[in-house]
């Protein structure tokens, strides 16, 4: 009986998470109201309070599920241990490649990022701050390697990550090329993957000189 109750709760929680995402996609952040979310989920609104505490906390749960960086947060200790030997070089390349693929294929995350940079609020700031804290942990692997003042690896990564966001959003919103590159073409996507890794390699090579 207890297992059945837990399964039913899990199903209801997932219904609510999907529902708040649907409301967000259709109406934006300002349209997220508890009655509207409950109707979309087909459940009583008191379950939002019971399971999540508030509709804001429900929405934050949805955002965390969509966020690319949540995988690294949940596996951080193992990831850091596995990537010590090369001072985070392969980790940096893998993170960038996977972020490009994930962001390109996830329309919900694209909408989340557009919202985060266009509307100032505590929820989006909290998610951004959580990413920054995670980034600090991961960059701890690289900082000692980049003592050479000629290479600011943090700035290098910042430009690449921001470029991924802009490149994908530009292609998805306008459907146009950028610098003559069409991210919707497999061949051009492969070139972007190659270049992301090359830039990391160049940074490490420059710092070693």
Domain parsing of the chain, residue ranges: 2-59, 67-207
CA distance 168 to 68: 14
What is the biggest distance separating any 2 CA atoms in the chain, rounded to whole angstroms?
A: 65
Separation in Å, CA 198 to CA 96, 109, 111, 132:
11, 26, 29, 24
Q: Which CATH number fits domain 2-59: 3.40.50.720, 3.40.50.2000, 3.20.20.70, 1.10.10.60?
A: 1.10.10.60
pLDDT tens track for 123-167: 888 888 888 888 898 899 999 899 878 899 999 999 999 999 999
Separation in Å, CA 81 to CA 77, 138, 140, 200:
6, 11, 12, 20
Per the CB < 8 A criterion, the answer to whether 109 and 103 are in contact is yes
- Tokens 């990550």 — which residue? 161
This prediction has a pTM of: 0.85
Average pLDDT over residues 54-75: 86
Residue 84 has pLDDT above 80, yes or no: yes
- Tokens 């190659």 — which residue? 194
Residue 2 has pLDDT above 60, yes or no: no
3-state secondary structure of 33: coil
Would you place residue 95 in the very low, low, confident or very high pLDDT band (cuts 50, 70, 90)? very high
Per the CB < 8 A criterion, the answer to whether 92 and 154 are in contact is no
Average pLDDT over residues 105-114: 90
Compute how many other C-beta atoms are within 10 angstroms of the C-beta atom of residue 188: 16
Report the b/e string of 160-177 with b at 16+ CB within 10 A. Answer: bbebbbebbbebbeeeee
pLDDT recorded at residue 77: 87
Question: Of the ranges 20-24, 171-175, 188-192, which one carries the lowest mean pLDDT score?
Answer: 171-175
């Amino acid at each position: 009986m207890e297992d059945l109750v837990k399964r039913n709760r899990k199903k209801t929680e997932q219904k609510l998470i999907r529902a708040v995402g649907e409301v967000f996609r259709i109406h934006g952040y300002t349209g997220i109201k508890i009655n509207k979310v409950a109707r979309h989920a087909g459940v009583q609104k008191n379950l939002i309070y019971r399971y999540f505490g508030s509709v804001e906390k429900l929405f934050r749960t949805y955002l965390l599920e969509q966020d690319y960086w949540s995988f690294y947060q949940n596996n951080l200790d193992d990831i850091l241990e596995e990537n010590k030997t090369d001072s985070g070089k392969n980790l940096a390349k893998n993170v960038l490649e996977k972020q490009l693929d994930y962001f390109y294929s996830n329309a919900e995350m694209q909408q989340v990022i557009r919202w985060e940079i266009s509307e100032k609020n505590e929820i989006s700031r909290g998610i951004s701050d959580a990413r920054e804290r995670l980034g600090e942990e991961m960059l701890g692997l690289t900082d000692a390697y980049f003592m050479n003042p000629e290479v600011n690896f943090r700035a290098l990564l910042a430009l690449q990550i921001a470029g991924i966001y802009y490149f994908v959003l530009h292609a998805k919103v306008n459907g146009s090329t950028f610098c003559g590159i069409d991210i919707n073409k497999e061949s051009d996507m492969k070139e972007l993957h190659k270049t992301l890794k090359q830039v990391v390699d160049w940074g490490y090579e420059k710092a070693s000189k």
